[in-house]
Amino acid sequence: MGSHLRLDFVRSAAWEFVAPNPLLAPYFHVGGRGQLVAEGNGREECYGYARCPVRLAGGRSYLLRVRLKADGIETVEHHVAHGLLGPSYSGGLFSLRAEGAYHAGEQRFPGPPEDLAAELRIYFRYSPLGRVIWEEIVLEEREPIPARPAKFACRQGAMPRDSTLAYWSQWLDLAGRSGPDLALLPEVFDGGRPSEAHLPGGPPVQLLAAKARQWRMYTCGTYYEARNGLVFNTAVLFDRSGCMVGSYDKLLPYGPELDQGVSPGRELRVFDADFGRVAVVNCFDSWFPDVARELAQMGAEVILLPNAGYFEDLMPARAADNGVCVVASSLYNSAGVWESSGHRAGDENPKSSRESPSAVLSFEQHPADGLLLAAVDLSKQYSPHWKGGPMMSAPALRVSGATSLKPLSHLASNARPTGDREGAEEMVGSEPPRGASAR
């Protein structure tokens, strides 16, 4: 394929319609203006796809773009899916946005390493009365996706006694000499207490800003901040020039913090850095999976976890469930960096059940200095059980990866508790199932 080749499948494709179970086949056809149309067949389990052959060039990337109109479908991304599939390779489009009466989306993804005969598949599923009209389905060949290496410096291990800001100044100098993109300090690194909360812009903030500017690196840490008569456990993020990118107040303070007058924050935040989109999960926040999930849905690629202590074994799940990189610095535990498939940087014997490549580029640690360094390629968003691409791997955050009849959020909201009284009353006096004996 040429480097600027553009395939318009609505106008030129020779579609073939496939239904593994003919009883569940949706009604696929081509409209009068060449649009691809799919309709439900009255059965909730309806499932099938339209496919068209395509030749992919090795070592390139591809942009898949669609624009469609859906009727009678609430969660469009659950009922349609768009992907390229070939032997040991896949790529796809997993998110759509509303554009007036239409839904549209585009996604760029790596092509196969070698030239490959593949097929474009457009899935329609689980919508008995829904109807979708694809007005645009375009595949464009692009240059290879460039690497996006990001190097992180983390603090780990037992803290020296009386760790003052002078100690942290020296540690940030040590980290800065290693050339990280971001240096992450632990939770409340200055050792302060809620009763000693600093005003905004206090000494901990001044230190982070100065060292960010000195070493041309991002810095992040948390401290107790007093604002408007309240006290928050506040994380601050500074860019390479020492300017504040933003702050985040801990959403879920630890119980003893509440007892010492700390108030919860009000919102989650995601920040733009020059190497990717960054969010902060502060210590006790990490016990709640919804926090990481929400941040990933907001576009976070890297979740920073400053903490006093945390459960390290949860982090592979937080990373893999959400397709993000997790970076943790701790006052009392080991630091860690996990890439999006859940592989921990420096783990020389990763679990074979992960079955995925790793985006970790480098790893080193200096135990005497409490310093861990790891680099991750953020352009590689692997997930567990990676079968050459995202279409056949663990779902991470992809809505279309949930293969239930209804979106999982709907199942949870409509679930009836076991032993529900109304359900029990419905069973009283009913006939036993055929073939069962009544006792």
The CATH number covering residue 255 comes to 3.60.110.10
Q: What is the spatial distance between Cα 122 and Cα 136, in angstroms, rounded to a whole number?
A: 12
Q: Are residues 155 and 110 in the same domain?
A: no
**Residue pair 394/340 in contact by the 8 Å Cβ criterion:** no
Nearest to 309 by CA among 279, 326, 334: 334
Q: Are residues 136 and 12 in the same domain?
A: yes
Radius of gyration of the chain (CA): 26
Helix, strand, coil fractions of the chain, as percent rounded to 5? 20, 35, 40
> What are the φ and ψ backbone dihedral angles of 90, each rounded to 5 degrees?
-160, 155
**Residue pair 46/127 in contact by the 8 Å Cβ criterion:** yes
Q: Are residues 128 and 192 in the same domain?
A: no
Nearest to 108 by CA among 140, 135, 76, 77: 140
Strand order in the sheet with 276-280: 270-273, 276-280, 302-307, 325-330, 336-338
179 Ramachandran zone, left/alpha/beta (phi>0; psi -120 to 50): left
Q: List, in sequence order, the alpha helices (H) in 142-261.
A: 165-177, 203-215, 255-259
* CATH number of the domain to which 63 belongs: 2.60.120.260
> What are the φ and ψ backbone dihedral angles of 126, each rounded to 5 degrees?
60, 30
Domain boundary among 130, 145, 160: 145
Q: Are residues 263 and 295 in the same domain?
A: yes
Q: What is the spatial distance between Cα 16 and Cα 50, in angstroms, rounded to a whole number?
A: 6
The answer as to whether 397 is a domain residue is no
What is the reported pLDDT for 416?
55
Per-residue tens of pLDDT for the chain, all 439 residues: 444 567 777 766 689 999 999 999 999 999 878 889 999 999 999 999 999 999 999 999 999 999 999 999 989 999 999 999 999 999 999 999 999 999 999 999 999 999 999 999 999 999 999 999 999 999 999 999 999 999 999 998 877 776 789 999 999 999 999 999 999 999 999 999 999 999 999 999 999 999 999 999 999 999 999 999 999 999 999 999 999 999 999 999 999 999 999 999 999 999 999 999 999 999 999 999 999 999 999 999 999 999 999 999 999 999 999 999 999 999 989 999 999 999 999 998 888 899 999 999 999 999 999 999 999 999 999 999 999 999 989 988 776 678 889 887 776 555 555 554 444 344 334 343 333 333 2
The answer as to whether 438 is a domain residue is no
Q: Are residues 61 and 93 in the same domain?
A: yes
Q: Are residues 133 and 156 in the same domain?
A: no
Domain boundary among 145, 173, 197: 145
Q: What is the spatial distance between Cα 155 and Cα 219, in angstroms, rounded to a whole number?
A: 12
**Residue pair 288/168 in contact by the 8 Å Cβ criterion:** no
- 270 has which bridge partners? 279
Q: Are residues 186 and 126 in the same domain?
A: no
Residues ≥6 apart with Cβ < 8 Å to 285:
250, 251, 252, 291
Q: What angle do CA 320, 417, 294 make, to 5 degrees?
A: 30
Q: What is the spatial distance between Cα 186 and Cα 221, in angstroms, rounded to a whole number?
A: 6
343 C-beta neighbours (distance < 10 Å), count: 24
> What are the φ and ψ backbone dihedral angles of 127, each rounded to 5 degrees?
-130, 95
Nearest to 184 by CA among 285, 270, 307: 307
**What stretch of H or E contains 316?**
helix 315-322
Q: Are residues 33 and 123 in the same domain?
A: yes
Q: What is the spatial distance between Cα 395 and Cα 322, in angstroms, rounded to a whole number?
A: 9
Q: Are residues 222 and 82 in the same domain?
A: no
Place of tokens 């901990």: 204
The answer as to whether 304 is a domain residue is yes
What is the reported pLDDT for 411?
64
The answer as to whether 57 is a domain residue is yes
The answer as to whether 406 is a domain residue is no
Q: What is the pTM (predicted TM-score) of this model?
A: 0.90
The answer as to whether 58 is a domain residue is yes
The answer as to whether 410 is a domain residue is no
Dihedral angle of Cα 426, 427, 428, 433, to the nearest 10 degrees: 140
Q: Are residues 158 and 294 in the same domain?
A: yes
Q: Are residues 32 and 153 in the same domain?
A: no
Our count of domains for the chain comes to 2
Nearest to 325 by CA among 311, 315, 313, 335: 315
Token pair of 212 as six digits: 């960010």
Q: Domain range for residue 271? A: 149-390
**Residue pair 281/304 in contact by the 8 Å Cβ criterion:** yes
The answer as to whether 257 is a domain residue is yes
What is the reported pLDDT for 434?
36
Domain boundary among 369, 390, 411: 390
Instruction: Please report, as a single letter, which amino acid is at residue 207.
Output: L
Q: What is the spatial distance between Cα 19 and Cα 31, in angstroms, rounded to a whole number?
A: 20
Residue 210, SS3 per DSSP: helix
Dihedral angle of Cα 247, 252, 258, 260, to the nearest 10 degrees: -40
**What stretch of H or E contains 364?**
strand 360-366
What is the reported pLDDT for 277?
98
Instruction: Please report, as a single letter, which amino acid is at residue 331.
Output: L
Residues in the chain: 439
Q: Are residues 89 and 128 in the same domain?
A: yes
Instruction: Please report, as a single letter, which amino acid is at residue 98.
Output: A
Q: What is the spatial distance between Cα 15 and Cα 29, in angstroms, rounded to a whole number?
A: 9
What is the reported pLDDT for 157?
80
**Residue pair 289/318 in contact by the 8 Å Cβ criterion:** yes
What is the reported pLDDT for 70?
97
